[in-house]
Structure formats: C-alpha cells, structure tokens
Structure 1
Amino acid sequence: MGLTGGIGCGKTTVAELFVKRGVHYVDADIVSREVVMPGTACHNAISQRFGSSVLQADGSLNRAKLRDTIFSQPEAKSWLEQLLHPAIRQSLLAQLNALSSPYALLVAPLLLENKLNQYVQRVLVIDLPEPVQLTRAMARDNASEQQIRAIMAAQLSRTERLAQADDIISNDSTIAALDSQVERLHQQYLQLARH
C-alpha cells in the first residue's frame, strides 16, 4: 500500500499506528538519504560533478548547498534526478520485498508525483485542510510560511492528491480518531492481502 500526503499531514504518525499493528513500512525520505551517504555510488557521482562545495566537513552532503545549486541550474537538477531516482526506486523495491508483514506500506510524500504508485495496490492519502497543514508544518519544521508554501506548491494540490486516492484518512481530529481510521483500514488491507 502506498501512503502519501502533503507536508505536515501526519504521514509518519499514521505509519507508526500501522506499525503498532505489526505492519512494516519503507520511508522514501529515509531511502533518499541512504543512497547519498558517503561512500555510495550516488555520493561519489555528486561530489565529482559539483565538487567539495556541496560537501560538509565530514564528507556528507550539504543538502542546503546542493539544493541551492540545482534550483539555480535546471540542467544540474535534471542530472541529479536522473542519478537519484533510479537508485532510490531500486532501494525502495528491494527494502519492500524484504519485509515480512502481511502487507507493507511505502511511505512517500511524492508517491504520486514520482509515479511510485505503480508499485502499490492502493493509495492511502493522509488529508488535512490546507490552513491546518500549513500551521502544523511551520511549527514542526520551525519554518516560515513562505518556506512551507513553497514546498506545498511543489507537491500535488490537495484536490489532485485526493482524486487519486483509493483510501483517505482525515487527520484533523484526535489521535484516537486517527487510530480508529487506521484500524478500519488495517482490517480491510488484511482482507486484501489474503486474496
């Protein structure tokens, strides 16, 4: 199952509620960091292409510097995407195949944008009204409204995301309400996994 939602919608919170029920997941954000760890082929290619200016003192990527570089150079952004997307996809699929729960979750903020939904049976969208999403993301990330709005603008709109959902969890209430929605879907997903 694919689990997605806009920034600040509660994807990790919902994923952890599934974990309490014995379901495993792979998080695309974590995998995207793993494929650029020092010593990996992607890390080496990035440091060769952009030089030491995109590296921290410890050799790890300076993600902010790299982001600034690629957003000011469209051809560099394209090159980086062509390098990283296949590596991330390969790692995601390998990690998903290694999981042993009755069904697994692929947690990805850009599940639909990056066409990762082709690897899952259903798309679960964690939904939140945009003003609440904005407030939660600003508080969680200690970020400005402008920064969060820029991230939201780079993701599918709420309407577009909901239009592609097989299942929706509304995260605008209590943890107890969230938990009961997860339980209902968990039972449904267990049934699907049996068939």
Structure 2
Amino acid sequence: MTTDTATPSTRPWLRIGLTGGIGSGKTRVADQLAALGASVIDTDAIAHALTAPGGAAIEPLRALFGEWAIDAGGALDRAAMRERVFRDAEARRRLEGLLHPMIGAAVQREAEAALGWYTVFVVPLLVESGRWRERVHRICVVDCDEATQIARVGQRSGLTPDAVQRILDVQAFRDERLAAADDVIVNDGQTTPEQLSERVAAQHARWMALRDQPPYAPGTPHA
C-alpha cells in the first residue's frame, strides 16, 4: 500500500479507465480509489444527474420520446426506457445520440477540474464503446463471473435473472473485457470485502509507482 500522505494539488496526468460488467463492483472499487486520493469521474453518476428531476436531459428526452419516458417524479423512467431500448435498436441509438454528447461534455469539465494522484474514469461500456482506448493510459477491469453478477444485481435491484441476462447480453463478454485490460481487480463471489480492499490498495500502489514514468509522466507521449 502506498505511504503517500500529502494532498494532491496538481492536475493528474495518469488516466485510468475503470470498467466491468454490471454487478462486478465497479462503484465499490471506485469509492475505495477515491478514498486513496484518486480523482474519480463516474459516467453513470453523470448520466443519473442529467436524467434526474430538473436534469439537463429531461426536456430533450421528453421532446424526443414523449411523456412516457418521464416518470411521475420528473425523472427519466429508467425501467420503461430499459424495456424500450432492449426491444428497439433505433430507440437505443436515439437515446445514446442525445445523452452521450451531454455526458462527454460533463466528463471533460470534471477532468479539467480534477485534482488527485491520478484520474479514474468509470465507464461501464468502456470496451464496447471503442472510443476510450485513446483517451486513457490504462484500462482496469473489475472482474467477476456471470453467475455472481446475476445474483448481485438481483439482490440489489430486484430484477429477475432473465432481466439481468438481457443487460449482460448487450455488454462485452468477460473474455473481451479481460483481453482489453492492462490491469485486473478480481471481485468474484469468493472475494471478501477485506480482500477487495487489499487488491484495490495494491493496484493503487502500482499506479502511484507509474505516475512519474514514461509514457505516463507529464510531457511524454500518450500511451
């Protein structure tokens, strides 16, 4: 584990893309990295803010899809939209065409303001998008077997195994994510919270050691 105790005060250069399938534990890993001094930019959190009541995407969503897309509280009706985009590829393209530029602009603003040892971009569909490899120096996958993913998502959200499987079917296969990974943090069904914390701390220490080395140091070419 790193022994650095100083507070980061300059914009971080090293950029990490953190990804993993639904239920893999990305958020828990990201929270632990933030506690260790990383700047964390979570694209899912940005998307939720944009589609919350009063969010910047609400009126454009209403105009694009109609009243059915907005729930009684004024937020995006995520369940209804999930059902729609799984059945209708064109609706999915329209949704992504609206949200992705808004999310991208918010990510850029947060990245420009980031102060930390390094910046972690949490992107659930990082491998699938094909756009993030050139934006980050390293890709870290939080790895988990599919059975554990289904169980975790069902416990936290109440979705049926079939519903979770439909989500998994539009994500990259596990071997595709692992093939794209520079770093892997295992968080399978046998991993205890203590083991996960140890693995996150060890990965943090490795990234801290890379910060001042080419090609990750300021002024060196992007990896």
TM-score by length of 2: 0.79
TM-aligned CA deviation for residue 24 of structure 1? 2.3
The 3 A distance-change label for structure 1 pair 149 and 66 is closer
- Conservation of the 8 A alpha-carbon contact between 1:29 and 1:108: yes
- Which stretch of structure 1 is more off in the superposition, 49-58 or 184-193? 49-58
CA distance in 1 between partners of 2:181 and 2:113 (Å): 26
Preserved CA contact (<8 Å) 2:53 2:73: no
Q: Distance in 1 between matches of 2:88 and 2:153?
A: 28
Gaps in structure 1 of 5+ consecutive residues: none
Cα 1:14/1:74, change in 2 over 3 Å: closer
Q: Distance in 1 between matches of 2:96 and 2:60?
A: 12
Q: Deviations over 1:1-40 (max 9, x none)?
A: 1111111111111112212212221111111122234555
- 1:159 maps onto 2:192 in alignment: no
Contact kept, 8 Å, 1:4 with 1:108, in 2: the verdict is yes
1:145 to 157, 161, 173: 161
Aligned to 1:190: 208
The alignment status of 1:50 with 2:65, answered yes or no, reads: yes
1:136 maps to which of 144, 149, 152: 152
- Equivalent position SS for 1:116: coil
TM-score, normalising length: structure 1: 0.90
Q: How does 1:1-195 map to 2 (within 5 A)?
A: 1-39=16-54, 41-114=56-129, 115-172=131-188, 173-194=191-212, 195=217
What are structure 2's unaligned runs of at least 5 residues? 1-15, 218-223
Would the alpha carbon gap of residues 186 and 155 (structure 1) be closer, same or farther in structure 2, given more than 3 Å must change? same
In the aligned structure 2, how far is the partner of 1:140 from the partner of 1:41? 27
8 Å CA contact 1:23–1:103 kept in 2: the answer is yes
Distance 1:179 1:95 in 2: 26
SS of corresponding position for 2:128: coil
* Separation (CA, whole Å) in 2 of partners of 1:74 and 1:130: 24
Q: Please say if residues 54 and 75 of structure 2, whose CA atoms lie closer than 8 Å, have aligned partners that are also in contact.
A: no
Per-residue CA deviations over 1:128-163 (Å, capped at 9, x if unaligned) read 122222222222222211011111111000010000
Identity %: 35
CA distance, structure 2, for counterparts of residue 178 and residue 156 of structure 1: 23
Count matched residues.
195
Deviates more, 1:108-117 or 1:4-13: 108-117
Distance in 2 separating the partners of 1:39 and 1:141: 24
The offset of 1:178, in angstroms, is: 1.5
Distance 1:68 1:148 in 2: 12
SS in 2 for 1:81: helix
Question: Which piece of structure 1 moves more, 67-76 or 170-179?
Answer: 67-76
Distance (Å, rounded) in 1 between the aligned partners of 2:81 and 2:206: 42
Q: Structure 1: which 4+ aligned runs deviate by more than 6 Å?
A: none
